[in-house]
Chains A and B, each alone.
Chain A
Amino acid sequence: MARIQLRDLCGARSGDKGDISDLSLFADDPAAYEAIRAAVTAERVRAHFGDLVRGPVHRYEAPNVLALKFVMHDALGGGAPRSLRADNLGKTLGAALLRMWVDVPDAVAASAPRRRAPLHR
C-alpha cells in the first residue's frame, strides 16, 4: 500500500441544497474507484471535516461514473442566505476533501493521473 493525497487521485465538485453540502469525488479508472471506495468512508469524511460539518454524512456510490457522493447535513452554517461563511455555498468543500490522505494499492498510487496546474509568473 502507498499513501497518497486525494488531490493526486481524484476530481471533486461540491454544491448546496439548503444547509446540506453535496459533494462528489471522481476516480479516473476502476482500480482507483475501488481504492477510494475502500478508503473514503462516510465516517472518515465526517471526521475530516470536524466542526465544519455538524450533522450526519451519507455516502452513495455511482460506479457508472466511478464516483462517490457524500451528502453532508448541517454543513453550511445554516444555508447560503443565512450563513456567515464567505464560502456560503460550500463550493470549496470538494477541494477540502481532496486534502485527505489515503492508503491505496501501490499500482493505483503509481498511476495516479491527476496533474498540477502550471504556474506562470
Chain B
Amino acid sequence: MTVRLGGGQGFYGDGHEPVEDLLAAGVDYLVCEALAELTLAILQKDRQRDEALGYTRDLPLYVHQALPWLVDGKTRLITNAGGINPVAAGRAVREALIAAGAPQVRVATVVGDDVRPLATDLGLPADALFANAYLGARPIVEALAAGADVVVTGRVADAALFLAPLVHEHGWSWEDWDRLAAGVVVGHLLECSGQVTGGNHSGAWWANPDPLRVAFPIAEVAADGSAVVTKPPGTGGMVTFDTVREQLLYEVHDPAAYLTPDVTADFTAVAVDDLGGDRVRVHGARGAPAPTTYKGLVCTAAGWAGEARLAYSWPDAEAKARAALSFIRGRATTAGVEVLEWHEEYFGAGAFGGPTVGRARSDRSVLEPPEVIGRLAWRTADAETAARVSHGVGVLGLSGPPTIAGTGRSRDGRPTQLLAVEPFAIDRATVDARVRVTVDET
C-alpha cells in the first residue's frame, strides 16, 4: 500500500490554485504548513487585537477547497494553521463546515505547544510575545486514530505534519528510527510546497515548464518508507534530481543529523533517483533516537524600524544615493534623535552580498549603473523616535542631491487609486461673477 501525501501550503499566504490540482489528482492527505518562524509573531499581534484570532485566516479557504473530498472520506486535512490559537482555529473550521452543510466532518485540535504561561519557570523573558515548543507527530497520530478528518495544530515541526499520517497508515513503531527518518525526509521535501517542484531552483530556472502554474508536490510513500516525489498531471514546474536535492538540504544544518521531535534523521544516507517524467524516488534514510529535548522558540520585542528608499539617476547615481542617506543620518544626529542602529543598502550597486560584491567589482570592469536605489533602515526604542528620522526624507526632494526619483507607489503591493487630471480654459467673467469677498465686521 502506498500513501499519497499532498504538500498543500508552504507558508501563510501561499497560492491556492495548486491545491485544486492536488485534490483533483487524488491525495489521501492534504498537508498544509503555514508557520514560518516569523508567522507566530504576526499571529500574536492579531490575537492581541482580537482574542478570537491568532490563526492563519485563510484556513477556512483550505477547508472549503477540500470539502468535497473531506465529505467523501477520500482526503483528510492536516495543518498547523492554528498558529498561536489552535482552539479558535478549530472552532472556525467547525463553523465553516456547519455553514457548508457538512457537520459530520470531524475536526481535531492539538494544543500544548504554547509554553508562554511557563515562561518564568523556564527562565524565559516574562514579556515574551510568544514562547512555543515544536511538537512532534504523536498528537496528530492520536487525532487520526480517533477518526479526525481535519487536524488543526499550533506549532508542530513542519515535517512531523507529514510523518504523522505515514505512522498512522503504515503502523510504524515509534522506535523504528529508519522508517521515522524516511517519513521526515518525505515531510521535509513537501513542506515548502513549490520549492521542490521547480520554484526557487538555482539551475536552469528559465527552462521551468509552464512557470505560471508551478505545481505543488505529491509523495507516494510505501510502507518501507521509500517514496516517489511527483506532481499532478498537466501542471507546470518540474520534479528532478536537482529540484529534490536542493530542497532535501534546505535549512537542515547538519544533514547527517537533522534533529526533529520524533527522530534524528541522516539525510546523507538518502539515495535520490530521478526516474524521469517528473518522478524522483528517495529511499535509504537512516534514523537514530530523537533529542531528549524539544526545540522551543521565544519571541520578545526588539525596538522599532524605520526605512527610507530613494532612487537616483546616472550620472554618479551611487554617489548621490550615498550622499542622500548621509543627509538623513546627519539631520537625525544633529536633532539628537537616538537611533540604536543604522543600516544602508544600495540597490543596483551591491545591496546584496556585502563584501562579496566588492571583490567581484574589483575583479572586472563594471559599468557605472544607470540608477541606484539607496535604502536606509534604522532601529529605535519606540515608534515615535523612528518616525522622527523620516522627517529628513522629504526634505531631500528639494535640498538633496540631483536626479531623485520615486521607488514605486506602494511597498507591499496594496492597490493605490490613480487619478487623471486635464487642463481646460474657462471664461474669466464666469468665474469672476462667482467671486465674493467678505470681511467680518467686528
Task: State whether A99 and B354 are in contact (beta carbons under 8 Å apart), knowing that A60-B254, A117-B205 are contacts in the complex.
Answer: no
A16 cross-chain contacts in B, Cβ below 8 A? 37, 251
Task: Tell me the bound Cα distance from A39 to B420 in angstroms.
Answer: 59
Q: Mark A49-76, 1 if CB is under 8 A from B, else 0.
A: 1111000001011111111010100000
Question: Does B250 count as interface, using CB distance less than 8 angstroms?
Answer: yes
Question: Which of B201, B202, B248, B377 gathers the greatest number of chain A CB atoms within 10 Å?
Answer: B202
Q: Is the CB of A84 within 8 A of B343?
A: yes
Q: Is the CB of A65 within 8 A of B354?
A: no
Question: Does B3 count as interface, using CB distance less than 8 angstroms?
Answer: no
Q: Mark B337-378, 1 if CB is under 8 A from A, else 0.
A: 000011101010001111111011001000000000001011
Question: Does B104 count as interface, using CB distance less than 8 angstroms?
Answer: no
A86 cross-chain contacts in B, Cβ below 8 A? 345, 347, 351-352, 375, 377
Question: Does B385 count as interface, using CB distance less than 8 angstroms?
Answer: no
Task: Tell me the bound Cα distance from A22 to B246 in angstroms.
Answer: 12
Q: Closest chain A residue to B41 by CB distance?
A: A81
Task: State whether A85 and B249 are in contact (beta carbons under 8 Å apart), knowing that A26-B202, A93-B353, A97-B356 are contacts in the complex.
Answer: no
Nearest-Cβ distance from residue A116 to partner chain B, whole angstroms: 9
Q: Closest chain A residue to B284 by CB distance?
A: A64
Q: Is the CB of A24 within 8 A of B250?
A: yes
Task: Tell me the bound Cα distance from A79 to B246 in angstroms.
Answer: 22
Task: Tell me the bound Cα distance from A104 to B102 in angstroms.
Answer: 63
Task: Tell me the bound Cα distance from A69 to B118 in angstroms.
Answer: 36
Q: Is the CB of A48 within 8 A of B375?
A: no
Which of these, A17, A79, A99, contacts B353 with CB under 8 Å? A99
A84 cross-chain contacts in B, Cβ below 8 A? 305, 341-343, 377-379
Task: State whether A51 and B37 are in contact (beta carbons under 8 Å apart), knowing that A24-B249, A24-B250, A62-B255 are contacts in the complex.
Answer: no
**Is the interface on chain A under 10, 10 to 19, 20 to 34, or 35 or more residues?**
35 or more
Question: Does B270 count as interface, using CB distance less than 8 angstroms?
Answer: yes
B354 cross-chain contacts in A, Cβ below 8 A? 49-52, 96
Q: Closest chain B residue to A117 by CB distance?
A: B206
Task: Tell me the bound Cα distance from A82 to B255 in angstroms.
Answer: 27
Q: Closest chain B residue to A79 by CB distance?
A: B37
Q: How would you classify the secondary structure of chain B's contact residues: helix, strand, loop or mixed?
A: mixed
Q: Is the CB of B204 within 8 A of A17?
A: no
Q: Is the CB of B249 within 8 A of A65?
A: yes
Nearest-Cβ distance from residue B12 to partner chain A, whole angstroms: 14
Q: Closest chain A residue to B341 by CB distance?
A: A84
A to B contact number (C-beta, < 8 Å): 136
Q: Is the CB of B353 within 8 A of A92?
A: yes
Question: Which of B37, B363, B375 gathers the greatest number of chain A CB atoms within 10 Å?
Answer: B37
Q: Mark A95-121, 1 if CB is under 8 A from B, else 0.
A: 111011100000000000011011000
- B300-351 contacts to A, CB under 8 A, are 302, 305, 341-343, 345, 347, 351
A13 cross-chain contacts in B, Cβ below 8 A? 200, 202, 246-247, 249-250
B379 cross-chain contacts in A, Cβ below 8 A? 84
Task: State whether A60 and B255 are in contact (beta carbons under 8 Å apart), knowing that A11-B246, A13-B202, A81-B41 are contacts in the complex.
Answer: yes
Q: Is the CB of A81 within 8 A of B299?
A: yes
B205 cross-chain contacts in A, Cβ below 8 A? 117
Q: Closest chain B residue to A82 by CB distance?
A: B302
Task: Tell me the bound Cα distance from A62 to B244 in angstroms.
Answer: 14
Q: Is the CB of B355 within 8 A of A95?
A: no
Question: Which of A51, A66, A99 gathers the greatest number of chain B CB atoms within 10 Å?
Answer: A99
Question: Does A43 count as interface, using CB distance less than 8 angstroms?
Answer: no
Task: State whether A22 and B268 are in contact (beta carbons under 8 Å apart), knowing that A52-B355, A96-B356, A117-B205 are contacts in the complex.
Answer: no
Q: Is the CB of A64 within 8 A of B359?
A: no
Task: State whether A15 and B251 are in contact (beta carbons under 8 Å apart), knowing that A77-B343, A87-B352, A94-B202 are contacts in the complex.
Answer: yes
Instruction: Across the A-B interface, give the 8 residue pairs with the lowest CB-CB distance, nearest first.
Output: A50-B355, A52-B354, A96-B353, A84-B343, A11-B202, A65-B245, A15-B251, A84-B377
For the complex with contacts A62-B256, A77-B343, A94-B202, 5 further pairs of A-B residues with Cβ separation under 8 Å are A26-B242, A65-B249, A69-B249, A82-B302, A100-B356
Name 29 A/B residue pairs within 8 A (Cβ), A-sorted: A11-B202, A13-B202, A13-B246, A15-B250, A17-B37, A17-B253, A24-B249, A24-B250, A49-B356, A52-B353, A52-B356, A62-B267, A64-B267, A64-B270, A65-B249, A65-B272, A67-B245, A69-B253, A77-B343, A80-B37, A81-B38, A84-B342, A84-B343, A87-B351, A95-B353, A96-B352, A96-B354, A99-B357, A114-B203
Binding site for A on B (CB under 8 A): 37-38, 41, 200-206, 242, 245-256, 267-272, 299, 302, 305, 341-343, 345, 347, 351-357, 359-360, 363, 375, 377-379
